[in-house]
Amino acid sequence: MTDRTLLDHISRLPHGKATFKQLVKELGAKGVPRAELEPALDRLTAGGDLVELRSGHFVLTANSREFSVGRLNKHRDGYAFLVSDKPMPGVVGDIYIPTASAEAAMHGDRVLVRVSRIEASGRADGEIVSVLKRANATVVGEFRVVRRGNFVVPHDERLSDWIEIPEGMEIPPRPVEADRVGVAPLKIEQPEDLDGFIVNVEILEYPANGESGAGRVIEILGRPGDFGIDVEIVIRKHRLPQRFPAEALAQAAAIPATLSESDLDGRRDFRGLDIVTIDGETARDFDDAVLVDRATNGNYLLQVHIADVSHYVRPGTPIDLEAQLRGTSVYFPDRAIPMLPLELSTDVCSLRPQVDRLVFSALMEFDRQGDLIAREFTRGVIRSVERMTYTNVHKVLEGDAEQCERYKPLIARFELMREFAMVLNRKRARRGSIDFDLPEPLIEFNEWGEMTGVTRSPRNIAHRIVEEFMLAANEAVAAHLEAAGPSIYRIHEQPDPKRVMEFEEIAAHFGYSLGIGAIPVKKFSYAGKRRDGQRTGTRKDVIVAEPSLRISPRHYQKLIAQIEGKPEERILSQQMLRSLKQARYSDDNVGHFALAAKSYTHFTSPIRRYPDLIVHRLLGGAGPAAAELRPIADACSQSERAAAEAERELVAWKKIKFMEERLGDEFNALATGVTKYGVFVELEDLFIEGLIPIDTLPGDRYTFRESLRKIVGSNTRTEFSIGDKLRVRLDRVDEAERKLQFAVAKQERPRAEKKGKQGKHGRPW
């Protein structure tokens, strides 16, 4: 009997409840022995699928209005929210957990919660019943020697409980000494010597109900401010695997650097073609190569060749197990944590120029409107003729004399690539694909990993060419696998109507709309901060979207076209992105909203993404069983988010360090948001964000007018609103909380005039 069979049986019973005796009798009649039933109930209870209300009485948590399972998201003030695995009937948003109950678990833990109250607005309160899975086996923090003993203060402020270090567990048997450049070797002999050092601690007893946990120091990372200590902290805080197991390294070292005749058996030979890689200047691994040709009937023939990682990384091997654990490569400013050992990622699997490399190829034919009319997938071997960069391809297409001379034999190829990429782009636009093509900040660092400035990341036609070809290949593979059987997809679900309507309110401030024509519904909600189960503040009416509202990507596409090149483009584009859900991996294909694609997957980067490797195996007929796909997809989605959070956190940390030396300096800024706390601004030249507290705004006493989405002076009627250009001064840098506080530099601010005199976008100036 499988766990799924047992859950299905209980789900068919009244209210999803059953007793142990009842299950023994009913399932025994179907041939299920008691010896199988007991461990299955234990597994499902431990996993949160079932709750044992009292001895021998079980209830199904799925679709329950009383219990919910999910991840605990704690606030540094002690209270928390449950991010449920599945939507709970009647509940809107996350479930609030007051401090007294939240003390039973740590941030990130998987917990079972009993819902104690659901308001008319859909907001819910709950209390933790049990901790199902701990998220923090280790904690990184600062070692403190105090009167009560030795403790470690977690670096993550959401882990508010100090970890006590019992006597004899302060110094590892073999201290990990700092070996980073510019860091002196550590000399730790007594626990007192560790005071103020950053350490990594293995938790032996978890904190609960206000009591400190206990642990032992397993790594001594260095002193705060040491070179590279920020990266070391972030890696451990997000529990990113950083060292490959010895077995995986030995396996990688044993892989031959050159191809043998047996490696080429059954492969198509593409080595005589003008195939090229196109990447950034600093790229170290090249996992995709392309070629475009024209058929005799005028159609476009696209070849996308991807490094055949699946040839070298077989299921269940040490490298595969470690790659599955990592899920993705992680990229920091001064280093990368690769998914695969360097022997594979930067050598054997990297499509280097003038070197024979094994590939999995997508061969596609498109008509002149960009419609796919034929596809084929095959294993092959290529010999890339050039390692091209985006910059050089762009220069060739712009007619740069030097680059045209250097790449003369390939000019016609690049011109055809540009022509075909634009055909594909127009095809996507016709179906409603959303294209956020804003310049991204490129943070510059020196050799010591210190931030030195910010520039706009260059984007040119070469970036567009590669993106369109990779999108086309991913869609073709997804459609093929969907027809063949179970697969992993890259899905992007419909946006939440409430968040769309919140964006509509912001867009209306600038005189724009998505044009969705939603019928608003007035609901009663409680405003004010929740603390320990109590709420302060007053009630208010909230306008939310009709639940049946269906939003099309075309609504976003049309608005993007309207704001292109406008001063408010960046703000509205960012707000639009926030109104959308995060893309993720799934074995259930629900399509990709942003791309307006019925089927989409990731095929083109198996060197750095595990789902791509799984897709290659499925294409080759050696993929995992259907039942294994969902756990793999969920784990890869979690790994992807952990990597993204780690990358963002480190960059934010670097930005804070960069601004420490600029206290008192003035900057041009753009107001990106207004709240009751003040004005959020982004520095125009540095893409760095901070807050101007409302009580520091000059010349008046200010209040936040939520209905207007403005901060207005009581006497002068001076206004602050989204999109305002400000001159600001950096007043405070809070490194612990990664926050910057600004003040308005002396300048004239607009005053509200009498009703009826409206400026651009309806603003009264």
Here the CATH number for the domain that contains residue 703 is: 2.40.50.140
Q: Within this chain, do residues 39 and 86 fall inside the same structural domain, yes or no?
A: no
Q: Is 575 domain-assigned? A: no
So what's the pLDDT on residue 519? 42
Alpha-carbon distance of 384 to 709, in angstroms, equals: 55
| Assigned domain for 644 exists | no
Q: pLDDT band for position 412 (50/70/90)?
A: very high
Strands 276-279 and 213-222: unpaired
Q: Which of 116-125, 457-466, 469-478 has the lowest mean pLDDT?
A: 116-125
Residue 519, domain member (yes or no) = no
Q: Are residues 145 and 219 in the same domain?
A: yes
Question: Is 31 inside a domain boundary?
Answer: yes
pLDDT of 755 higher than 80: no
588 located within any domain: no
Domain boundary among 237, 261, 279: 237
pLDDT at 528 over 60: no
Q: pLDDT grade, residue 66 (50/70/90)?
A: confident
Q: Is residue 493 part of a domain?
A: no
Q: What 3-state DSSP class applies to 480?
A: helix
Residue 186 has pLDDT above 80, yes or no: no
Residues 6+ apart with CB under 8 A from 259: 356, 358, 381
Question: Stretch 516-526: mean pLDDT, rounded?
Answer: 50
The DSSP output letter for 211 is: B
Residues 338 and 397 in one domain: yes
Give residue 55's pLDDT. Answer: 81
Per-residue model confidence as pLDDT tens digits over 636-673:
999 999 999 999 999 888 899 899 999 999 999 999 98
Q: Which of 26, 25, 24, 6 is nearest to 16 (CA)?
A: 6
Whether residues 232 and 278 share a domain: the answer is no
Which residue did the predictor score with more confidence, 233 or 548?
233
Asked whether residue 716 is domain-assigned, the answer is yes
For residue 535, what pLDDT is reported? 44
The pLDDT value recorded for residue 513 is 92
Give the E-state strand segments of 85-212 in sequence order: 95-97, 110-118, 124-133, 138-146, 149-154, 163-164, 198-205
**pLDDT at position 750:** 53
Q: What pLDDT does residue 174 have? A: 61
Residues 710 and 506: their CA atoms lie apart, in Å, by: 11
Confidence of residue 747 (pLDDT cuts 50, 70, 90): low
Of 163-172, 450-459, 713-722, minimum mean pLDDT range: 450-459
Task: Please give the angle made by the CA atoms of 158, 161 and 165, to the nearest 5 degrees.
Answer: 130
Predicted confidence band of residue 448 (pLDDT cuts 50, 70, 90): confident
- With respect to residue 595, please indicate whether it lies within any of the assigned structural domains: no
Average pLDDT over residues 626-631: 93
Q: Which of 237, 257, 272 is the last residue of a domain?
A: 237
Give residue 9's pLDDT.
Answer: 85
Q: Please report which confidence band the pLDDT of residue 63 belongs to, taking 50, 70 and 90 as the band edges.
A: low
The answer to whether residues 45 and 104 belong to one domain is no
Cβ–Cβ contacts within 10 Å for residue 40, how many? 19
Residue 379 in tokens: 């294993």
pLDDT at residue number 756? 39
Enclosing domain of residue 16? 3-60
Last residue of a domain, one of 117, 133, 149: 133
Higher pLDDT, 27 or 683: 683
Distance CA 501, CA 522 (A): 12
Residue 187 has pLDDT above 80, yes or no: no
260 and 407 together in one domain? yes
Per-residue pLDDT at 452 exceeds 80: yes
Whether residue 402 sits in one domain with residue 255: yes
Q: Is the pLDDT of residue 58 over 80?
A: yes
What residues contact 655, with CB distance under 8 A and at least 6 apart?
Answer: 443, 451, 686, 688
Do 472 and 421 fall into the same domain?
A: yes
| pTM (2 d.p.) | 0.85
Q: Residue 615: phi, psi to the nearest 5?
A: -65, -40
User: Does pLDDT of 461 surpass 60?
Assistant: yes
Residues 229 and 199 placed together within one structural domain of the fold: yes
Predicted confidence (pLDDT) at residue 523 exceeds the cutoff of 60: no
Structural domains counted in the chain: 5
| Share of residues in the chain with pLDDT > 90 (%) | 59
* Residue 439 shares a structural domain with residue 348: yes
Q: Do 169 and 283 fall into the same domain?
A: no
Q: How far apart are the first and last CA of the chain?
A: 71
Q: Are residues 333 and 425 in the same domain?
A: yes
